[in-house]
Amino acid sequence: MAFFDSVKNKSNSSQMSFLQHIEAFRWHLVRSAAFILIFSIIAFCYNDFVFDTIIFGPLKQDFISYRTLCLLGQKIGAGDIMCMIIKPAHLQTLSASEQFFNHMWISFLSGIIIGFPFILWELWKFIRPALKNKEIGPVKTFIFIASVLFLIGVFFGYFLLFPMSYNFLINYQVSSSGIVQTQNTFDDYISLISTMTLVAGIIFEMPILVYFLTRMGLITPSFMRKYRKHALVIILITAAIITPSPDVTSQMIVAVPMYLLYEISVFISVWVIKKHKLI
């Protein structure tokens, strides 16, 4: 209600009732859904490119992440320790509808990822009447930064987080007897790549989340500094788990971006405190 009260109190000739705001919000949702639907249909129609080039890319030996990591290891004098040998993959389906519904899911997910900036744009257009002129600029910046961070997170999840995690899991053996053989299914593969990619995009929104939590007084820079060591330990453990190679270099490739994200969030929290004089 505070948002609608702020809109109602603005001195302009186009004051709107509560129901009118609900109607306006509904149309913003409709347009956002339309963006997602359009991009989803395009992704659905280009299924060969989406699956063979993008989704199944990490299953190929010449995937750009594997080539880059191998080259990086050779450049720093580590030899072939960062080169990964990818097993030929044959994903199984266990039901007649599995391929179709995963096709639908990946198309929908593609629509969300591509349409994310448009969704934020529609959100900004909805809240714009309640903003003062001096606040419009920062909100535009927020939309741009949030979109960039989300896409960086998606790329990080797709090119680094998922390939390393998948190759670790697919090669993991509970014993050396060879009794247990991993036969991955198409459904499991799609679930893993979509979850890790989308979650990485959301995690990279941490600076935006910290901004709002600091504005609400729920966290402070001192709190984040106090638990910096704890956060670093969690990041290093996570990086050690998802990287298939025991060498420190490959672990740092995953851990460093995550830690930098944390430090950026600390800086943002400090900036919010100073700008809005919350302490």
Tally of structural domains, the chain: 1
Question: For residue 21, what pLDDT is reported?
Answer: 67
The predicted pLDDT at position 12 comes to 44
CA–CA dist 49, 61 (Å, integer): 18
Comparison of pLDDT for 242 and 190, the residue scoring more = 190
Residue 279: predicted pLDDT = 57
Residue type, 30: V
Q: What is the pLDDT of residues 103-128, one digit of tens each?
A: 999 999 999 999 988 888 887 777 76
Does residue 11 carry a pLDDT above 50?
Answer: no
- Asked whether residue 4 is domain-assigned, the answer is no
Residues 6+ apart with CB under 8 A from 276: 215
pLDDT of residue 6 exceeding 50: no
Confidence check: pLDDT of 57 > 60: yes
The CA distances from residue 132 to 127, 136, 207, 276, in Å, are 11, 7, 24, 16
Domain assignment present for residue 73? The answer is: yes
In a domain, 11, yes or no: no
The amino acid at residue 197 is T
Angle subtended at Cα 58 by Cα 54 and Cα 60, rounded to the nearest 5 degrees: 105
Helix (H, G, I), strand (E, B) or coil at 46: coil
Secondary structure class of 92 (helix, strand, coil)? strand
User: Which one-letter amino acid corresponds to residue 143?
Assistant: I
34 within domain boundaries: yes
Query: Rounded distance, CA 171 to CA 84, Å?
Result: 11
pLDDT at position 231 over 80: yes
Distances in Å between the Cα of 238 and the Cα atoms of 73, 191, 229, 235 are 21, 20, 14, 5
Residue 35 lies inside a defined structural domain of this protein? yes
Contact between 176 and 133 (Cβ < 8 Å): no
Q: Is residue 3 part of a domain?
A: no
pLDDT over threshold 80, residue 251: no
| Residue range 150-185, pLDDT digits in tens | 999 999 989 988 888 888 788 778 888 878 888 889
Domain around 103: 19-171+184-276
Residue 50, C-beta contacts closer than 8 angstroms, at least 6 positions apart: 43, 106, 107, 110
In a domain, 14, yes or no: no
Q: What was the pLDDT predicted at 45? A: 96
Q: What is the pLDDT of residue 180?
A: 84
185 phi, psi to nearest 5 deg: -100, 160
Q: How much is the pLDDT for 250? A: 63
| C-alpha radius of gyration, the chain, whole number | 23
The mean pLDDT value for 127-151 works out to 73
Spatial distance between the Cα atoms of 197 and 161, rounded to a whole number of angstroms: 8
Decide if 6 is inside a domain: no
* pTM beyond 0.85, yes or no: no
Q: Which pLDDT belongs to residue 209?
A: 85
167: left (phi > 0), else alpha (psi -120 to 50), else beta?
alpha
